Amino acid sequence: MKNIAVILSGCGVYDGTEIHEAVLTLLAIEQAGAKYRCFAPNINQHHVINHLSGEVMAAEQRNVLIESARIARGDVEDLSELIVAEFDALIVPGGFGAAKNLSDFAINADSYTVNKQVLSACQGFANASKPAGYMCIAPAMVPIIYGSNVQATIGHDVGVAQSLTAAGLAHQNCAVDDIVVETQHKLVSTPAYMLATSLTEAASGINKLVAKVIDLTN
């Protein structure tokens, strides 16, 4: 049975993992006959957003690992404990947490970085030639993880695509129900909620991504 590592970035689209993307990913992994383990960095979130009003809750501070446990029903591990050799592939759902907590792309798009622990884990899969899937805004990390001129997609948002192209990504426009496959690096990406307007639309691309990532493990 294939074993997939899933990296989460908190809980909630505006300051953590996009919950629908995460749940659809875990469901697709199970339905494909594979298993997963969830991980998250044990760090503070960039900030906390009131998901009802959209306002920053300046006085509140939350931990990415603890918040990720909400999605994983408590079954989430510190990212420092991820051992690449124990897994066949990696998948990173999106949500602003990927661009605020795993990286700082949302804050510093012109010269953004990826959290060192996240970078080490993701590069571990890349260096071992193990498949990986990145969805929504998570492909923003691809140029830093894989280097320049590697193909991935965030959909067809012109402004975001331009920023990522400037960072070295070979961005490919992509419909919500499709995927971009970088065969050389066994890298799969899909727009998910960068374009999706419903669970069904999000699932259409996420299911393809999960299926392709698992296929590339063979």
- For 133-152, what is the mean pLDDT? 98
Residue 108 token pair: 């510093």
- Which percentage of the chain shows pLDDT scores above 90? 100
**Packed helices 19-31 and 199-215: angle between N→C axes, nearest 10 degrees:** 50
Q: Which superfamily does 3-215 belong to?
A: Class I glutamine amidotransferase (GATase) domain (3.40.50.880)
Tens of pLDDT, residue by residue over 19-47, are 999 999 999 999 999 999 999 999 999 99
**What Cα–Cα distance (Å) separates residue 62 from each residue in 45, 47, 48, 68, 103?**
6, 8, 7, 10, 16
- 218: three-class secondary structure by DSSP: coil
Tens of pLDDT, residue by residue over 159-216, are 999 999 999 999 999 999 999 999 999 999 999 999 999 999 999 999 999 999 999 9
Question: What is the model's pTM?
Answer: 0.98
Tens of pLDDT, residue by residue over 48-88, are 999 999 999 999 999 999 999 999 999 999 999 999 999 99
Q: Which residues carry out catalysis?
A: 136
What is the domain partition of the chain in residue ranges? 3-215
Name, in order, each residue with C-beta under 8 angstroms of 31's C-beta and a sequence gap of 6 or more.
none
